[in-house]
């Protein structure tokens, strides 16, 4: 059970990016969670309101995308979705593979809001 | 005046901070010529018993410290401490794994400048510890015979990150349906460079080769510029 500490890291990272953009609030966040990451999306949803309370993310909408586990075949080099292909290279039939994606817990994007006149160019007027 | 909303793409891993911290710790230990081994397994696979066997082989020829991470209790550190090697207990307070920051807190309690080898006994768990870089020079994991030969299929990440795999409790092979060749093949498919050694902490079988692995790796780590 480590979703709580990981989510605190998420808040920190998102706030840092939002501040760089002089935003007042973060109104939405999209996370990408790898299927081989031990982060459980249901817990993330459950903990999100409490973890974001009194932060720039308070009240933000949460979108979670799953990232499938992709591997590269060690024999022929083909990259394929591991589970979908039943753990066997669709090209050559080899079961020897190196994980290339599906381990991540990423912030894909944030939606930020600035409450004065602001054209989104990054320039203050 | 009106609200302005826009979306910014970040594409940043939340675990990046830990990875950076781990890299920093690894460099620091490298400069101090201290080899940190992160030892992982499920609960009851024999981490502490294997550590005691390794200490028996190596404690006269190198300076060793041990960090025991558990959710609670200090029974492991007491067991190791009785062997005459400096051992400290880290309490993770419910956390299922150690991250680089917690590892560093433990490292600070040991006088690592005067140690050649530190063994970190991670929390017993095959899932989360595999995901968090502790800053160790190498990762080792123990799979014990009673756990079954299907573990590499169920916990692929653990077997992917392990540089050394010890198959422990081989004195029990007759009592379990455990296909040792199948297990090795499953590990090699995930991680062809892993060193796989068969041991029994109860009978002391196989620990000469384990000690050789440590000698070679400590030497390499401390010798490289």
Does residue B96 belong to any structural domain of this protein? yes
pLDDT on residue A12: 93
The average pLDDT across A23-35 equals 95
> What is the pLDDT averaged over residues A58-76?
96
Pairs of CB atoms within 8 A across A/B = 94
- pLDDT class for A117, splitting at 50, 70, 90? low
Q: Averaged over B134-162, what is the pLDDT?
A: 97
Domains of chain A and CATH, by start: 3-68+102-113 (3.30.2320.50)
Q: Say whether pLDDT at B2 is over 70.
A: no
Task: Quote the mean pLDDT of chain B.
Answer: 93
Query: What pLDDT sits at residue B119?
Result: 97
Closest Cβ opposite residue A36 in set B3, B15, B157: B157
**Cβ-defined contact of A6 to B15 (cutoff 8 Å):** yes
If DSSP states are collapsed to H, E and C, what string results for chain B? CCCEEEEEEEEEECCHHHHHHHHHHHHHHHHCCCEEEEEEECCCCCHHHHHHHHHHHHCCCCCEEEEEEECCCCHHHHHHHCCCCEEEEEECCCCCCCCHHHHHHHHHHCCHHHCCEEEEECCCCCCHHHHCCCCCCEEEEEEEHHHCCCHHHHCHHHHHHCCEEEEECHHHHHHCCCCHHHHHHHHHHHCCCCEEEECECCCCECHHHHHHHHHHHHHHHHHCC
Average pLDDT over residues B62-83: 89
Q: Which pLDDT does position B111 carry in this prediction?
A: 83
pLDDT band at A96 (very low <50, low <70, confident <90, very high): very high
Q: How many domains does chain B have?
A: 1
- pLDDT at position A1: 60
Domain carrying residue B68: 33-223
Mutate to test the interface with A, among B1, B4, B126, B185 (most CBs of A within 10 A): B4
Q: Is residue B61 part of a domain?
A: yes
Is B4 a domain residue? no
Asked if the Cβ–Cβ distance from B128 to A13 is below 8 Å, we say no
Q: Is residue B78 part of a domain?
A: yes
Note the pLDDT of residue A53: 96
- Asked which of A8-12, A43-47, A107-111, B220-224 is least confident by mean pLDDT, the reply is B220-224
Q: How far apart are CA B166 and CA B178, in angstroms?
A: 15
A105 interfacial to chain B (CB closer than 8 Å): yes
pLDDT of the residue at A125: 43
Q: Which chain A residues touch B19 with a CB distance below 8 Å?
A: none
Q: How confident is the model over B167-216, as pLDDT tens digits?
A: 999 999 999 999 999 999 999 999 999 999 999 999 999 999 999 999 99
In a domain, B145, yes or no: yes
pLDDT in tens, B130-141: 999 999 999 999
**Would residue B27 count as lying in a domain?**
no
Query: Are the Cβ atoms of B192 and A5 closer than 8 angstroms?
Result: no
Residue B224: predicted pLDDT: 58
Residue B154's CATH number: 3.40.50.300
Give me the residue from B12, B128, B189 closest to A2, CB to CB.
B128
The per-residue pLDDT for A3 is 84
Q: Are the beta carbons of A109 and B190 separated by less than 8 Å?
A: no
Q: What is the pLDDT of residues B3-23, one digit of tens each?
A: 688 898 988 888 888 999 999
Average of per-residue pLDDT across A20-47: 93
Query: Is B14 part of a structural domain of the chain?
Result: no
Residue B72, pLDDT > 90, answer no
* Cβ A22 vs Cβ A123: under 8 Å: no
Is the ipTM higher than 0.90? The answer is no
The pLDDT score that the predictor gives to residue B167 is 98
Share of chain B above pLDDT 90, in %: 77
Q: Is the pLDDT assigned to residue B121 strictly greater than 60?
A: yes
| Mutate which: A103, A116, A123, A124, vs B, most B CBs within 10 A | A103
pLDDT digits (tens, 9 = 90+) for B28-66: 999 999 999 999 999 999 999 999 999 999 999 999 999
Q: What is the mean pLDDT of chain A?
A: 90
| Residue B127 and residue B155 in contact, taking contact as beta carbons nearer than 8 Å | yes
Confidence bin at B92 (pLDDT 50/70/90):
confident
Interface test with B, best of A18, A20, A92, A104 (most B CBs within 10 A): A104
Q: Is B131 on the interface with A (CB under 8 A)?
A: yes
């Amino acid at each position: 059970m480590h979703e709580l500490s990981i989510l605190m890291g998420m808040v920190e990272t998102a706030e840092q990016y939002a501040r760089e953009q002089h935003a007042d609030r973060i109104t939405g966040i999209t996370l990408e969670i790898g299927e081989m990451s031990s982060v459980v999306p249901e817990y993330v949803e459950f903990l999100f309101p409490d973890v974001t309370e009194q932060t720039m993310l308070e009240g933000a909408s949460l979108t979670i995308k799953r990232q499938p586990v992709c591997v590269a075949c060690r024999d022929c080099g083909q990259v394929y979705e591991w589970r979908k292909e039943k753990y066997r290279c669709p090209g050559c039939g080899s079961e020897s593979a190196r994980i290339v994606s599906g381990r991540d817990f990423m912030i894909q994007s944030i939606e930020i809001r600035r409450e004065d006149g602001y054209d989104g160019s990054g320039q203050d007027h | 005046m009106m609200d302005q909303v826009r979306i910014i793409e970040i594409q940043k891993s939340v675990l990046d901070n830990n990875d950076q911290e781990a890299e920093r710790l690894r460099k620091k230990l490298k400069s101090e010529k201290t080899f940190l081994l992160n030892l992982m397994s499920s609960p009851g696979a024999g981490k502490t018993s294997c550590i005691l066997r390794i200490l028996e082989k190596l404690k006269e020829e190198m300076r060793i410290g041990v960090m025991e991470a558990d959710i609670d209790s200090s029974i492991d550190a007491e067991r190791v401490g009785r062997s005459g090697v400096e051992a400290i207990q880290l309490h993770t307070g419910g956390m299922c794994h150690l991250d680089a920051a917690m590892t560093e807190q433990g490292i600070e309690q040991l006088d690592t400048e005067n140690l050649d080898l530190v063994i970190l006994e991670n929390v017993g768990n095959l899932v989360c510890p595999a995901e968090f870089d502790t800053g160790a020079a190498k990762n080792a994991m123990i799979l014990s015979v009673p756990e079954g030969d299907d573990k590499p299929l169920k916990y692929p990440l653990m077997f992917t990150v392990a540089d050394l795999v010890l198959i422990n409790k081989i004195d029990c092979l007759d009592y379990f349906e455990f296909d040792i060749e199948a297990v090795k093949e499953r590990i090699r498919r995930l991680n062809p460079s892993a060193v796989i050694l068969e041991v029994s902490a109860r009978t002391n079988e196989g620990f000469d080769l384990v000690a050789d692995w440590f000698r070679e790796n400590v030497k390499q780590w401390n010798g490289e510029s």
